[in-house]
């Protein structure tokens, strides 16, 4: 049972959840009530979808992941699990930095390419959530897994709002996945109920607010 719990923790690493969200909004066959919401998601050219995935992989997965490995090698963190809250401050700051870099990159592409506002808002939400998590972590070890799953649900939920038919099944699956991951973190005694709950709430709220208010 413990091996399964550890495996699930790795599958749903916070670094991976933005990619899962991106895969859902790009490849879920749905229709929208507005032109702006539908112009650049499911109906996008496959090559453009691939470029979006590649960008997010580089800035949200590979770059932060390599930074974590460097921190591990120079012993800034004792392990990739970062069991002590003090060890999490630098990685969280790094994640915030890469989100901001990706956002700036997307902004500078808007003159020659139509970047969906939903994706730009998602990156802003990631930066906002990480920024707030940095200060919370100084006081308590907020669950980054919880934050990742909350962000995933918040992103998919806000994506589904303008759709003609809400993808209820997908929303339920994402919600259930979040419950399983939070339960796994509690089972492994990596966090308390308060830590996973606060993480999930912060992740959800950061995506909800960013997408709702993004121009």
What confidence tens digit (pLDDT) does each residue in 83-119 have?
777 888 888 999 999 999 999 999 887 555 678 889 9
SS3 191: coil
Residue 172: name the closest of 24, 70, 19 by CA. 24
Q: Are 115 and 109 within 8 A, CB to CB?
A: yes
Task: Name the pTM for this structure.
Answer: 0.90
- Mean pLDDT confidence for 31-57: 75
pLDDT of residue 14: 93
- Please report the DSSP string for 106-137 in residue order: HHHHTTTS---HHHHHHHHHHHHHHHHHHHHH
Domain boundaries, the chain: 11-24+35-213
Residue 19 C-alpha from the chain's centroid? 7
Question: For 163, phi and psi rounded to 5 degrees?
Answer: -75, 150
Average pLDDT of the residues in 179-199: 93
The string of pLDDT tens digits covering residues 10-24 is 999 999 999 999 999
Distance CA 90, CA 87 (A): 7
Give residue 81's pLDDT: 72
Alpha-carbon gap, residue 76 to 55, rounded angstroms: 27
Mean pLDDT score of the chain: 88
């Amino acid at each position: 049972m413990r091996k399964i719990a550890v495996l699930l923790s790795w599958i749903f690493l916070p670094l991976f959840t933005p990619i899962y969200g991106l895969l859902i909004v790009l490849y879920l066959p749905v229709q929208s009530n507005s032109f702006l919401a539908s112009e650049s998601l499911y109906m996008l050219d496959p090559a453009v979808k691939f470029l979006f995935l590649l960008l997010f992989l580089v800035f949200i997965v590979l770059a932060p992941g390599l930074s974590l490995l460097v921190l591990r090698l120079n012993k800034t963190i004792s392990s990739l699990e970062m069991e002590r809250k003090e060890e999490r401050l630098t990685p969280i700051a790094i994640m915030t930095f890469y989100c901001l870099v990706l956002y700036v990159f997307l902004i500078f592409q808007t003159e020659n390419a139509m970047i969906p506002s939903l994706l730009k808002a998602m990156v802003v939400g990631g930066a906002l959530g990480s920024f707030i998590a940095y200060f919370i972590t100084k006081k308590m070890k907020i669950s980054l897994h919880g934050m990742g799953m909350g962000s995933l649900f918040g992103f998919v939920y806000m994506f589904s709002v303008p759709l003609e038919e809400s993808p209820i099944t997908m929303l339920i699956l994402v919600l259930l996945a979040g419950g399983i991951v939070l339960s796994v973190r509690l089972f492994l005694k990596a966090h308390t109920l308060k830590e996973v709950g606060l993480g999930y709430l912060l992740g959800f709220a950061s995506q909800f607010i960013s997408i709702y208010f993004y121009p």
